[in-house]
Structure formats: structure tokens, C-alpha cells
Amino acid sequence: MEVLVTGGAGFIGSHLVDALMESGNEVRVLDDLSAGSLENIKHWLENEHFEFIKGNMRNHEIVRKAVEGADVVFHLAANPEVRIGSQSPDLLYESNVTITHNLLSTVKDSDVKFLIFTSSSTVYGDADVIPTPEDYAPLEPISVYGGAKLAAEALISGYAHTFGFRALIFRLANIIGERSNHGVIYDFINKLRKNPDELEILGDGTQRKSYLHVSDTVKGMLHIFEHFKKESKIVDFYNLGSDDWITVREIAEIVSGEMGLKPEFRFTGGVDGGRGWKGDVKLMRLSIEKARKTGWEPKLNSYEAVRKTVKELLKTERH
């Protein structure tokens, strides 16, 4: 396949690029390196089947150049930080909705057959049904981040139905693993590096969520894409997560243990009943039955994924 990966130098994107290249595809990456790093994809830069374009997706001409010749677009470019919505909603809109619209404006006039988008569990908001299935409604995001992801989903669906390409949308749980540069595990490690005796924990520590290792995520995306290609749906949605969930306090205990530390935990108390920040979904676990019916199964549960990620991040920092 001729594949474009937007955000392909980022955390999830670079792992996806690895899998696509190892499968013998022609891969082009478009990334402005605001959240990603060339370090993540440097091992492919000299490969004749790989191309890197540094550019901002607000620029229509750069997007047009990147899309040209592609059969498939994996759209992962976005601002990955949920918390930024309360400080800078304009930035979140531009880095999630505007760039998606720019991409769709180009895709509609191209030979792209499939667009695959990484959305988020945050589109469900505080769901009344847990585990939450794909057909849960109404979708009521409680963060600007979740709202921006849902807006992007709606645009993609509208364009796909109108302009004749097919779209696959993944609603992801918390994705963790090597190369991640944000999120609770990354934050805890950095805090404990600065002060091994105390760990500040946002919220009351009882926030409970599902975590999925990036290796399971990429395998799931590619496996379900193969399944989707054989079907006739124009647009389809799949949750990707794990069957269990883990509290923030338990994550803090795993990180501390792997670092050989016994810090005092200091909980901030949080907002709105112990949330880490305004817009933080306190309880999140996705139903993965639909994905499982295609034959995909996560190898690691939340606890295993967290422990593996801590080891990976600590090992990376030591080198």
C-alpha cells in the first residue's frame, strides 16, 4: 500500500510506521514535530520506501503534497494532551478539528480509498454504561479535547458518506508504552526524579481507567483495518482498550516500586469529586467485544501494560 501517516513521528504514530514498514508498505509521514520527534523514526529516514515531510497541517499545500499518491491515510496528528483544553481551547480546536478538515478537503479530491482516524474514549464523557460500547449514546464529552475528537469524527463521517471514500474510527483507551512523552506514568517518573521522597498525585487517587500498551494498539488497528476492508460499511467505529482498569494510586505504587522508591503520596484532592482536572473522566473502561469478534485480543491487561511501560521509560532514560 501507499500509506500516509499524519503525526507519524509521534508516540503511537511512530510505532504504527514501524509496523507498516516492516510489512513492506510505501510509507510517507507528515509531522510538524511539535509533539513528535525525528528520533522516533530516524531508523527509516534512509529507506527508499519511506518519506518524511516536515510540515504543519494548517497549510493546505503541504497537506495536498502529502496526500498525493496515497491509497490509505492514517490520521494520528493531533494535540495529545487532554488537559490543555481548559487552558487553550483554541489550540485544541486547531490541532484536532481544523487540521482534520484540511485533510478531508484534500482527501475528497484524491485517490485515497481509506481514512483511519485515532479518536478517543473521551468522546463518551461520563458514560452511564461501563464497559462502554461503541453504540452508547448520547455522546456528551466533558472536555474540550473530547469535544474536538467528536467533531473530527463527525466531519470524517460526513465527508466519507458524501465523497466516496471509507473511514475507520478507533476510540482509544489510555495508550501507553515506549516513546510516550506525556500522561500519568511519564509525569510520575519525572516528578520522582526531581523529588524521590514525595509524589504529587492529581485528584484523590481513585480515578480508575483502562490502559492499553501501544504494541497491542497498533496490532489492533492493523488487524481491524484488514477486517474492515472486506466489509461494505462506509464508516465504522471500534473501541480499543483492555478488559480491566487500574486506579491512579495503583499506578503510583507501580512506578514507585519499579524505581525502588517509597515516596509519600500527596493527593491534590482534585476537582468535581476527585477528578485530576476539569474535564478529567474519572471512570473509563471501554467494551472491546466488537474488536474481539474480529479476532483481536490485547496481550497485556492494564496492570501489565503499566508495569511494562514504566520499565520501558526508565530504560530509555538510562541510555
Question: For 55-71, how does the pLDDT look when each residue is reduced to its tens digit (9 = 90+)?
Answer: 999 999 999 999 999 99
Taking residues 253-276, report their average pLDDT.
95
pLDDT digits (tens, 9 = 90+) for 87-102: 688 888 998 999 999 9
pLDDT digits (tens, 9 = 90+) for 13-37: 999 999 999 999 999 999 999 999 9
Looking at the predicted structure, is the pLDDT value of residue 85 above 60?
no
pLDDT digits (tens, 9 = 90+) for 173-230: 999 999 999 999 999 999 999 999 999 999 999 999 999 999 999 999 999 999 999 9
275, 253, 273: which is closest to 265 by C-alpha?
A: 253
Shared-domain flag, residues 99 and 187: no
Looking at the predicted structure, is the pLDDT value of residue 319 above 60?
no
Shared-domain flag, residues 251 and 265: yes
Separation in Å, CA 140 to CA 129, 130, 209: 13, 15, 18
Determine which of 20-29, 221-230, 264-273, 281-290 has the lowest per-residue pLDDT on average: 264-273
Taking residues 123-147, report their average pLDDT.
97
CATH for 183: 3.90.25.10
Is the four-CA dihedral 220, 226, 227, 231 of positive or negative sign? positive
Confidence (pLDDT) at 84: 58
Shared-domain flag, residues 247 and 229: no
| Distance separating alpha carbons of residues 127 and 141, to the nearest angstrom | 9
Q: Compute how many other C-beta atoms are within 10 angstroms of the C-beta atom of residue 126.
A: 14
Contacts for 290 with CB less than 8 Å, ≥ 6 apart: 133, 134, 238, 239
Boundaries of domain holding 77: 2-175+211-240
Cβ–Cβ < 8 Å for 126, 142: yes
Number of structural domains (the chain) is: 2
Confidence (pLDDT) at 193: 97
| Distance separating alpha carbons of residues 258 and 268, to the nearest angstrom | 23
